[in-house]
Amino acid sequence: MTTYRWRGLGTGSVEHLDLLARDDRVRARSVVDLGPVRLEYAMELGTEQGDAWTFRVLRLRSSDGRQLDLSREDDDDDWRVDGAARPDLADAVDVDLSFSPFTNTLPIRRLDLAVGAAADIVTAYVDGESFEVSPDPQRYTRVDTDRYVYESRDGDFHREISVDADGLVVDYPGLFSRVADGG
């Protein structure tokens, strides 16, 4: 198990994430302290060739009682939010949590882009305040071995993010910065 910590630069949040890779799944467990509210999530990702770092299950809970269960079924890749089918997410492969830089790792690891290459993707975006889930078109461009440009394809937001050798965010300007890790 490897532990990572990030600080939210605009919010003052602190995330503490434990990441465990096993033969059958990658599992992440995290606590995000947002001040008055604390969010906890558990996520499972695929590990098999062709499925590596592909989102499968998210369980999100807040200290104020909100909860969300999000899944992408193995057999048919259908998305479910709290058990209900979500056909509007059909084009999504990854999940994007608004309050965590960890979810940038999913497309970075899954796509394994060569330097100079770019890919357009769709994520199932989870808003940390409302727990609403919506499709979100994005683009990742690898500009160096440890740097990617993230772009929102339906807005003007973009950032150049730095990652470590494992594809985990080190610096996400204006949003997150890693403060410690270990294992």
Residue with tokens 């532990």: 3
pLDDT digit string (tens) for the chain, length 183 residues = 899 999 999 889 999 999 998 877 899 999 999 989 999 999 999 877 667 788 999 999 999 999 999 999 766 679 999 999 999 999 999 999 999 999 999 999 999 999 999 999 999 999 999 999 999 999 999 999 999 999 999 989 999 999 999 999 999 999 999 997 544
Helix H or strand E segment including 109: helix 105-111
The domain tally of the chain equals 1
Strand ranges (E), 22-173: 26-33, 38-45, 55-62, 67-72, 79-81, 84-85, 94-97, 118-126, 133-144, 147-152, 158-163, 169-172
Task: Tell me how far apart the alpha carbons of residues 79 and 71 are, in angstroms, rounded to a whole number.
Answer: 6
Domain membership of residue 17 as a residue range:
2-182
pLDDT for 75: 61
As a whole number of Å, the CA-based R_g of the chain is 15
Who contacts 170 (Cβ-Cβ below 8 Å, separation ≥6)?
146, 162, 163, 164, 177, 178
